[in-house]
Amino acid sequence: MRFGAVITDAEGLRLTPDEKALFKEINPFGFILFARNIESADQTRALCEDFREAVGRNCLITVDQEGGRVQRLRAPLAREWMPPLDHVARAGDQAERAMYLRYRLIAQELLALGIDSNCAPMVDLARAETHAFLKNRCYASDPMQVSAIGRAVANGHLDGGVLPVVKHMPGHGLSTLDSHHDLPHVDLSLEALEDADFAPFRALNDLPMGMTAHLVYDQIDPRPATISAGMMTLIRDRIGFDGLIMTDDITMKALQGTPAELARRALDAGCDVALHCNGTFEERALVLEAAGEMSDAAQARADRALATRQPPQELDIQAAEAELSALMGGQVYAG
């Protein structure tokens, strides 16, 4: 079955008849949840069932549950994680194990609600100039440490039956602007980026899914990475990532154009799937129509990504919580 080249969302807590009809007709690759879609465990499971019934298959459902400042699921439905992610590296040699446990517990929470993907790990490098919207979501500033923690985060997801989405390719840490509102520019050479921002993505290039960054690398290409064929080639060839590439949200203000236009431009540049969030029903329909079906290459990557979903390994939740608390020297979540 050929998928529509879009991951999209829903307006509320359950699908409307119009949404069900649209999704049945277009068959989006998957769906994403936001806080407005989440009220209770039973309701969230029912909404996930709505999505899967509409497309007639066990489609991917993802969310932004980074385990730090960005969390769509909140207490009492999920743990409220602390400290911010930029503090985790302070655990030193124990950081990888601590992050594995944090995300293994997150995966358990997500899968229990019918959510089988998460937009993490985020392996952007933190710098002194990194914009505040991103900085305390970063794991560290050293590429090797970020790579190791990112691998632990990915393994925590996979062992919990949840597909990780590595982001923001090929690196967002140099951004001094918030791409939700403005278009950031980076003025480093390809050689400098190879040894720094690109390195964690190269180390994790075997992961099943990745997300683009909405920023311009001025010395490489004048277009934002999400809609740049040159940057997509770089991600594929120099970074070596052959998983499914989804855009960051195409409604973010870093990109100029209608969502339908941007979806088409991103796919033409080499992205496999356009991520469209927070639009009206009419806008969502236009994006789905403009995107159309996946290319042959994108469909093959989508099939490979979905095939990596495995039943979760057995988890002793109390033991995992106790070990994580000990590694981090105290309480690590509320709720």
Res 85: pLDDT? 85
- Known active-site residue 214: no
**What SS3 state is found at 1?**
coil
Res 330: pLDDT? 85
Residue type, 199: A
Catalytic residue among 180, 181, 187, 237: 180
Distance of CA 184 to the CA centre of its chain: 19
Instruction: Please state, rounded to an integer, the average pLDDT across all residues of the chain.
Output: 95
Pairing of strands 117-118, 333-334: unpaired
Pairing of strands 333-334, 80-81: antiparallel
What does the block give as tokens for 44?
């969230």
Asked if residue 162 lies in contact with residue 108, where contact means CB atoms within 8 angstroms, the answer is no
Helices 281-291 and 259-269: crossing angle in degrees, nearest 10, is 30
- Known active-site residue 180: yes
Please spell the DSSP secondary structure of 245-308, one letter per residue.
EEPSPTTSTTS-S-HHHHHHHHHHHT-SBEE--S--HHHHHHHHHHH-BPPHHHHHHHHHHHHT
Ramachandran assignment for 52, one of left (phi > 0), alpha (psi -120 to 50 degrees), beta (any other): alpha
Residue 302, classified by CB atoms within 10 Å of its CB into exposed (0-12), middle (13-18) or buried (19+), is buried
- Kindly report, residue by residue over 4-33, the tens digit of the pLDDT: 999 999 999 999 999 999 999 999 999 999
Helices 281-291 and 17-26: crossing angle in degrees, nearest 10, is 0
User: What's the CATH code, domain 4-328?
Assistant: 3.20.20.300
134, 146, 97, 141: which is closest to 213 by C-alpha? 134
Catalytic residue among 116, 248, 249, 272: 248
Res 334: pLDDT? 80
**HSE (side-chain half, CA atoms, 13 Å) at 20:** 12
How is the chain split into domains, by residue range? 4-328
Neighbours of 248 (CB within 10 A): 28
**What SS3 state is found at 146?**
helix
- Kindly report, residue by residue over 166-188, the tens digit of the pLDDT: 999 999 999 899 899 999 999 99
The whole-model pTM stands at 0.97
- Kindly report, residue by residue over 198-250, the tens digit of the pLDDT: 999 999 999 999 999 999 999 999 999 999 999 999 999 999 999 999 999 99
Which 8-state DSSP code applies to residue 122? B
Whether the pLDDT of residue 90 is over 80: the answer is no
Whether the pLDDT of residue 135 is over 90: the answer is no
Whether the pLDDT of residue 335 is over 80: the answer is no
Asked if residue 235 lies in contact with residue 221, where contact means CB atoms within 8 angstroms, the answer is no
- Kindly report, residue by residue over 242-299, the tens digit of the pLDDT: 999 999 999 999 999 999 999 999 999 999 999 999 999 999 999 999 999 999 999 9
d(CA 266, CA 275): 10
d(CA 47, CA 114): 9
Give strand pairing partners of 107: none
When pLDDT is averaged across residues 52-60 and rounded to a whole number, the result is 98
